[in-house]
């Protein structure tokens, strides 16, 4: 991460907040889905985009928490348009149910913000018997995106405006397993490492955006796809690592971003005019950055796409 005071080509820095990077931007008429919208940077992303006039659909695992956030935002911004729909990304059935419910609303879809995630949890399997970090952080978002692509393409075509897919990754992608993605050992408990499995899932996020961008360009579709590192932020992602959590709470104000700063790059990628036409990139601190060599591997991205399709094909049929 660049020093807080360093401003990149965008004119923004790690110190910039979500409100600052969207100042003066009118999002009226746009509709966005934000996953993991009831806490942390997902909540702040929802609040700021709603403040800018975007109609938000909060995709949340706990709808009670989601509705509490919705009410809080409405007190601040009474004209905000916010819906809450249940989504458990670790369950393909839940992803399919969410997509169906969203489509029944007959709304356009301009922005898809794949924000939700879990970090470094003990070895567990999802309800579909897939390692939980890979299932939640990548596969659920992969299926969700594919189920909503037709709606996004239709919206982009009819509105003659660019659709944007924003996928939250992490600098943690640099600490994935040596081979990057362990296609033949996704569920291997014996060699499971909590942080490397997290890194693997975050590498998948980058490669997902890379392959989406390639396909959109090939198809001539007016949709962009980018991944990003939000910054190091104290959120409930660290709930499985009490020591890191304690240390972070002690020194965080000196070295970590605040939640408004952490949500900035997401909001910049989703709404800022400077991001128009930018696709297949990895962003950090509101500027274009670089992932590691595996994050730039287009062949690995294609392999991951086919692997993910094979795991979700029954759910997409």
Q: Is 160 exposed, middle or buried (0-12, 13-18, 19+ CB in 10 A)?
A: exposed
Catalytically annotated residue among 192, 198, 268, 282: 192
In this predicted structure, the answer to whether residue 239 has a pLDDT above a threshold of 50 is no
Tally of CB atoms within 10 A around 274: 15
pLDDT per residue as tens digits for the range 76-106: 999 999 999 999 999 999 999 999 999 999 9
As a whole number of angstroms, the distance between CA 203 and CA 155 comes to 29
What are 36-88's pLDDT values in tens digits? Answer: 999 999 999 999 999 999 999 999 999 999 999 999 999 999 999 999 999 99
Reported as type and span, the H/E element at residue 311 is helix 298-316
Q: Which residues of 57-91 are buried (b: 16+ CB within 10 A; e: fewer)?
A: bbbbbeeebbeebbeebeeebeebebbbbebbbbb
Ranges 3-17, 91-105, 225-239, most confident: 91-105
Residue 100 burial (CB < 10 Å; 0-12/13-18/19+)? exposed
E strand or H helix at 96: helix 92-104
Greater confidence (251 vs 11) lies with: 11
pLDDT in the model for residue 289: 97
Output the pLDDT for position 233. 86
- Check pLDDT > 80 for residue 315: no
pLDDT of residue 173: 97
Q: What is the pLDDT of residue 1?
A: 45
Q: What is the pLDDT of residues 151-160, one digit of tens each?
A: 999 999 999 9
Residue with tokens 């889905």: 33
Q: Is 192 a catalytic residue?
A: yes
Q: pLDDT over 90 for what percent of the chain?
A: 88
Residue 8: pLDDT above 80?
yes
- pLDDT at site 255: 59
- pLDDT category at 15 given cuts 50, 70, 90 is very high
Q: Is the pLDDT of residue 286 over 60?
A: yes
Task: Cite the DSSP H helix spans in 177-297.
Answer: 194-219, 242-255, 259-262, 264-271
Q: Is the pLDDT score of 275 beyond 50?
A: yes
Please state the pTM of the whole predicted model. 0.93
């Amino acid at each position: 991460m660049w020093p807080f005071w360093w401003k990149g080509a965008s004119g923004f820095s790690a110190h910039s907040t979500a409100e600052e990077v969207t100042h003066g931007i009118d999002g009226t008429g746009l509709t966005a889905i934000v996953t993991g919208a009831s806490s942390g940077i997902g909540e702040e992303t929802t609040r700021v985009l709603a403040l800018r006039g975007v109609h938000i659909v909060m995709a949340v695992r706990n709808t009670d928490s989601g509705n509490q956030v919705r009410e809080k935002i409405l007190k601040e911004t009474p004209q905000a348009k916010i819906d809450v729909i249940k989504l458990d990304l670790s369950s393909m059935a839940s992803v399919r149910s969410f997509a169906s419910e969203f489509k029944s609303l007959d709304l356009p879809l301009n922005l898809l913000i794949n924000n939700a995630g879990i970090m470094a949890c003990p070895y567990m399997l999802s309800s579909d018997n897939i390692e939980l970090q890979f299932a939640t952080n990548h596969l659920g978002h992969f299926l969700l995106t594919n189920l909503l692509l037709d709606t996004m393409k239709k919206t982009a075509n009819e509105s003659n405006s660019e659709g944007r897919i924003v996928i939250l990754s992490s600098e943690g992608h640099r600490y994935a397993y040596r081979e990057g993605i362990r296609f033949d050992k996704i569920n291997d408990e014996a060699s499971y490492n909590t942080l490397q499995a997290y890194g693997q899932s975050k590498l998948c996020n980058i490669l997902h955006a890379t392959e989406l961008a390639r396909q959109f360009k090939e198809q001539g579709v007016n949709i962009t796809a980018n991944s990003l590192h939000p910054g190091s932020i104290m959120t409930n992602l660290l709930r499985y690592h009490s020591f890191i959590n304690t240390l972070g709470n002690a020194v965080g104000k000196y070295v970590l971003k605040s939640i408004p700063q952490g949500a900035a790059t997401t909001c910049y990628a989703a709404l800022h005019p400077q991001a128009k036409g930018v696709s297949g990139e990895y962003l950090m601190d509101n500027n274009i950055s670089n992932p590691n060599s595996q994050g730039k591997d287009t062949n690995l991205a294609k392999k991951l796409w086919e692997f993910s399709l094979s795991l979700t094909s029954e759910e997409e049929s």
